[in-house]
Amino acid sequence: MLVNAIEAKGLVKNYVTWDRRGFFKRKKRIVKALKGVSFNVIRGEVFGLLGPNGAGKTTTVKIITTLLLPDEGKATVMGYDVVSEAEKVREVIGVTLSVEKGFFWKLTGRENLKYFGMLRGLKGRELDRRVEEVLELVGLKELGASDKLYEEYSLGMKARLALARALLHDPPILILDEPTIGLDPMSARTIRELLVKLAREEDKTVLITTHNMFEAELICDHVAIINDGRIVAYGTIGELKRRAADRLAVEMIIAAPHTILGDLEARISKLIGIRELGLEPLEEGRARLRIVVKPGEEEVIIAKSIEAFYSNGIKVYQVRVHEPTLEDVFILLTKGSK
């Protein structure tokens, strides 16, 4: 009996892109998306591939779902090789990529599911039964959305339908690329609860990618943190948190329009001489700054930051010091490693 549902070993992927330089001129550029990614997903668990934008999550997902060929390395799903046994792999996986599209706009949710069920060889009563089952499971029935045209769906409904399609052929493995991104809290919760239930009760293996720490903390048994094409940490949530056990987290709520956040992050880290910080947008033009520091450093860092903010005309609303959360571990591992 296989222990690992998914195994990835030394995956490397380079993209070739062409930068435009004027009307005819173009310059070739190599994007190193994956620089040797290895991880294992144990059968029956919820596994989180966690990383910031551009880290290589989608690229990894595309390789293990047979949609993209790796340049180097090897990956297997239920023991099947994703390159040489791609058709076998496709039989055992249910997949969602970007949840805001991927269906016919002019067909209803139910018709769309029927189409994809038929593609997978379901027919007759069996097809109808499965379609009704998954519509029920993801809560689209309850929302009265089964017979609405896809173009009338909200993002939450689209994400639910995407998950329904992944479940249609009852695959043992689900591979979901940011399944809750941008969703209303209600839909996100339904989906998270369903994923946990599928893993616990139906022994399905679930791989999700996310940049949402909170989500990973809620549902994942194991997490691998990917940054800049490399896995920088692997473990349970508890194990990862322990990595930052000797650190403290400083949290500040400041007034900063969302458009300047990227710029601001670089400037602050220069001013206070610390790289392990992260800025995330909040509501009403506010943002949350997290800085990971060694115990004893916090007072100086806070004083320096407040000074830096005031001299730049940025208001500080709140300052807090606490034990590191998974988000702080994430900042420590992704920012500190550069």
| Angle at the Cα of 179 from the Cα atoms of 13 and 329, rounded to 5 degrees | 70
CB–CB of 276/332 below 8 Å?
yes
CA distance 126 to 146: 18
Binding residues for other proteins, rule CB under 8 A, total: 39
Indicate whether 205 belongs to the interface with Mg ion (CB under 5 A).
no
Residues in the chain, overall count: 338
Indicate whether 271 belongs to the interface with other proteins (CB under 8 A).
no
Q: Which does 123 bind (CB under 5 to 8 A by kind): Mg ion, ligand ADP, other proteins, none?
A: other proteins
The torsion defined by the Cα of 210, 212, 216 and 219, in degrees rounded to 10, comes to: -90
Which spans of this chain sit near ligand ADP (rule: CB under 6 A)?
15, 17, 31, 33, 51, 53-59
CB–CB of 37/195 below 8 Å?
no
Q: Which stretch binds Mg ion (CB under 5 A): 51-59, 63-71, 166-174, 195-203?
A: 51-59
Torsion sign, CA atoms 202, 203, 205, 210:
positive
| Cβ atoms within 10 Å of 24's Cβ, excluding its own | 6
With CB under 8 A as the contact rule, the residue among 39, 103, 153, 330 that binds other proteins is 103
CA distance 112 to 116: 6
With CB under 8 A as the contact rule, the residue among 79, 105, 239, 323 that binds other proteins is 105
Going from the C-alpha of 272 to that of each of 250, 253, 300, 304, the distances in angstroms are 13, 17, 9, 6
Nearer to Mg ion, 58 or 334 (CB): 58
CA distance 9 to 176: 20
Q: How far is the CB of 231 from other proteins (least distance, A)?
A: 20
Nearer to ligand ADP, 17 or 318 (CB): 17
Nearer to other proteins, 97 or 308 (CB): 97
Indicate whether 58 belongs to the interface with Mg ion (CB under 5 A).
yes
CB–CB of 27/21 below 8 Å?
yes
Nearer to other proteins, 92 or 306 (CB): 92
With CB under 8 A as the contact rule, the residue among 34, 46, 78, 90 that binds other proteins is 90
Q: How far is the CB of 270 from ligand ADP (least distance, A)?
A: 23
Q: Which stretch binds other proteins (CB under 8 A): 48-56, 108-116, 229-237, 278-286?
A: 108-116
CA distance 195 to 186: 14
Instruction: Compute and round to an integer the Cα radius of gyration of the chain.
Output: 22
Q: Which does 55 bind (CB under 5 to 8 A by kind): Mg ion, other proteins, ligand ADP, none?
A: ligand ADP
Indicate whether 67 belongs to the interface with other proteins (CB under 8 A).
yes
CA distance 322 to 244: 12
Interface pattern 146-185 for other proteins (x via CB under 8 A): ---x---------------x--------------------
Nearer to other proteins, 86 or 261 (CB): 86
Torsion sign, CA atoms 195, 196, 202, 208:
positive
The contact set with other proteins (CB under 8 A) reads 13, 15-16, 59, 62, 65-69, 87-88, 90-91, 93, 95, 97-98, 100-108, 111, 114-121, 123, 149, 165
Q: Which residues in this chain contact Mg ion in the complex, by CB under 5 A?
A: 57-58
